[in-house]
Structure 1
Amino acid sequence: MPWLRTTAGLRVERSRARFTDNISGVTGRTEDTAVTPRLGVTILPGNGFALFANWGRSFNPETSTRPLVDRAVALPSLGEQFEAGARWESRDGLLRASASWFRITKTNVRVAEPAPSPADRQSGEQRSQGIELDLALQPVKGLAFEAAYAFTDAEVTADRTLLGRQLNQVPRHAASLWARGDVPRHVGVGVGATIVDARFIDPANSFRLPGYARFDAALYLQPLEAVQVQLNLINIGNARYFENGNTNNNFYPGQPRTLRASALVRF
């Protein structure tokens, strides 16, 4: 059936690890085994459309040497992912669009205990779900646009203390836009924007980093057939923002205005 494509896989994973804490002298070992299947289906109804759905499970063995509360034995983190959506491409390839829904569930995820405790613990269950939209357009020769948007609802769905909290470092809304124009004599100019919503930085949701918008630009040059030069101006407006953090007084600032040059020579 040329209109139907399927994929299937089955993986058996086994992990062994030994660790030693040189400060406390505590030693230990872990050994975990898991079977992780995956399935995928794509339907091609014609006229440039494609409908798809995927399902799979994941296995992430525990390898951190940070202690767990109550000296608990660390369990591997297990995950399950669903995704479904649609893609479309025009016959001439100048317009492409896609939309998808996803849902990811993870168990036994390591989270930090509130200060001053130096230990971690494993959260019961975390769930992320949302939609992703992508659009690529080339209205005329030498001019192209790309846009993307993601909505993510990420929260703790099973835990003794964090139930209902939003996952840290996950913005609810995020978007990007990039435009590129090529002019004669091998010269191109690009401009774009990245927009990120506010997000929490700790599991307890006690502090939220503000959202931000950053604007970038690029210049593409090809003086010779085998030589390409690219100049990138990152954060044109020198906006002050924080990319992430891990406590209410430990933040990581975003990149300030930066000019970067690169060259590619083919032999």
Structure 2
Amino acid sequence: MAAPPSRRVTLPRALSKRGFCSRTQAETLIRAGRVSIDGRVETDIEAWVDLDTATIAVDGQAIAAEAPVYLMLNKPRGLVTTRHDPEGRPTVFDCLTGVSATHLSPVGRLDKASEGLLLFTNDTVFAQALLDPETHLPKTYHVQIDRQADEAFLAALRAGVTHAGERLTAVSVTALRAGEKTAWLEIVLDEGRNRQIRRMLETLGAECLRLVRVAIGTLPLGDLEKGAVRALTDAEVAMLKRQMRMR
């Protein structure tokens, strides 16, 4: 059976894309008979709708797509990348208290101990493209380690490592500066494996003291203050979309 056209999606996905609720919440609403398409109640969660032409209503009230929002946060260390944390720890959403847009989600993650550039959006197509391994969109990190980075260490890091049976590699590794007992490296990745940089360093006997994401593609963190958030410009969004299409 041929795949539906790209602008046709399942009804739960349509509710999510229009920023009304999550897909899981949408399925509950649909099964309860609270959702209609063009005036007809639809209880099939696998029903297809055309995002461009369908009138979708919940409890009789038509829902429109929320205007797309694209934000950049300079994530401080110590925040978890989730909306609600069962342990009650502070989250990245604590930095978004002045943002009025709803249904924003972080694009990818930075672990609790990591800092730097984190994007948020309600544009699920944009977010999925940015996270798609096929785009190989580079992400640049500045990393402080607990030792000097001699040429042998840099060569080993550039060659890649195997950790827990998984091959981990970087696009590039560059020495930035060195202190008496520590060094700063610039590491560029084009894939987002869990705790990848920390695992690579651990395999080579080095500890990561600080990890700061400073760029996604050619979008830099710049001089945005720690904990501050700002909207991406139209030019920045277009630039990221071009880079994703090119790869």
Provide the TM-score with structure 1 as the length reference: 0.20
More helix per residue: 2
* Structure ID, larger Rg: 1
More strand per residue: 1
Provide the TM-score with structure 2 as the length reference: 0.21
